[in-house]
Amino acid sequence: MTQCCINPSILSADFVNLEAELQRISNADAVHVDVMDNHFVPNLTLGLPVVQRIQAVSPIPLDAHLMISDADRWAPGFADAGLASVTFHAEASIAPIKLARELRSRGSKAGMALRPATPVEPYLDMLPELDMLLIMTVEPGFGGQAFLDITLPKIRRARAAVEGSGLGLAIQVDGGISEDTIARAAEAGANVFVAGSAVYGADDPAAAIDLLRKKGSQALRPATE
C-alpha cells in the first residue's frame, strides 16, 4: 500500500480569498477540487475556468472530483487543463473505460468515484484502467456530513481486490474524514483522504493536515507489514 496522503477539499475554504487559502495547505499532498453542476448533485460550485485559475496559482497539484452529469463529455477538458488527477463518477459515465483511457492519454491520472450505495464489484475488472478509486463515505454534494461507517466493508473489499491484482491503485475516501474517523478508513484500506472542515475549520490548517497524516499513517502500518 502506498503512503498516506491528505488532500484537503477547498469546498470548506474561503472562496473570496482562495489563493491565500491554498497557501495555508501547502504541506498537503494535493488540493481536492469539488466540481458540482446542480444536476448530478443538487449543489453548484466551480466550473472549468475557475479550476484553471486555481491550477495556475496552486502550490501543490490539483485533484479534481467531478460530481457532474455527462462526464464523458466534460471530464477530458479538466485533464487538458493540466490537473494531476481527474476523478469522474461511474454513475455519470456511459463508457468509463474509454473515459479513463482518455484522461490518461491527456496527461492526468484517472480516478473513478462510487456513491455510497454503488457496489464496487461490477467495476473490479476495470481497475487496471484506473490510478485511483474514490469510495464516497457520504452522499456527494455537500460538505460537513457525517462519515458513513456502512461504507467500510466496501473499502475492505476494494483493498482486497487491489492487493490481489498487484496493482498500485490508490483508494481515496471523501466525506466526514476527521481525527476521529481517519483511522477507521485507513484500517479498512484507504490511503488517500479528502478532508474539508477538519482542515479549514481548524485554527491552523497546516497542523491539522500533519495530524491527520500522522493518524492515517499509524493506522496504515499493520496493513503494510
Tell me which residues are annotated as active site. Answer: 34, 174
3-state percent breakdown (helix, strand, coil) of the chain, nearest 5: 45, 20, 35
* Contacts (Cβ under 8 Å, ≥6 apart) of 62: 30, 31, 33, 51, 54, 55, 83, 84, 85
Of 36, 27, 40, nearest to 214 by C-alpha is 27
Torsion of CA 172, 149, 157, 39, to 10 degrees: -60
In angstroms, the CA 77 to CA 36 distance is: 15
Torsion of CA 105, 110, 115, 119, to 10 degrees: 90
In angstroms, the CA 5 to CA 64 distance is: 15
* Contacts (Cβ under 8 Å, ≥6 apart) of 58: 22, 31
Name the grid cell of 130.
484506473
